[in-house]
Amino acid sequence: MTAARALTDGERDAVANMANLAALIWQFLPALNWAGFYRVIDGELVLGPFVGKPACIRIAIGQGVCGAAAASGETQLVPDVHAFPGHIACDADSRSELVVPVRRDGMVIAVIDLDSPSPARFDTEDAAGIEALADAIAMLI
């Protein structure tokens, strides 16, 4: 959390903050093939800054893992994305996923999306850490 605060301290630009945070996550969490943000814009998720392969640009709220997190406001910890109903395969190599909603004033404004080519890569400790990050940065993105 200290590194995230140092990267965002005094910076008001949301895109710059998301870009640095995506890079920070990529640097510190092993076995990822995608780390980044989707922003809620006009009732849908729109691709934000990320590290990884090219990604889906727009995702409907309620669709796939990211859309489920945005719709429910709940973290989605998915050990096997192929078993998740309606999973959107932006990268066929992804096997597991962690998506954490970012809330401001009670509204989901974005999601942090982490994908891994390893099955069951993410656990509750990962989820708790990314949830803490989401809470800490909600006013900065």
Evaluate if residue 49 carries a pLDDT over 90: yes
Q: Are strands 107-116 and 34-41 parallel, antiparallel or unpaired?
A: antiparallel
Mean pLDDT of 60-87: 95
Note the pLDDT tens digit of each residue in 77-114: 999 999 998 878 777 789 999 999 999 999 999 999 99
43 three-state secondary structure: coil
Helices 14-28 and 124-137, axial angle in degrees (round to 10): 160
Q: What is the CATH number of domain 2-137?
A: 3.30.450.40
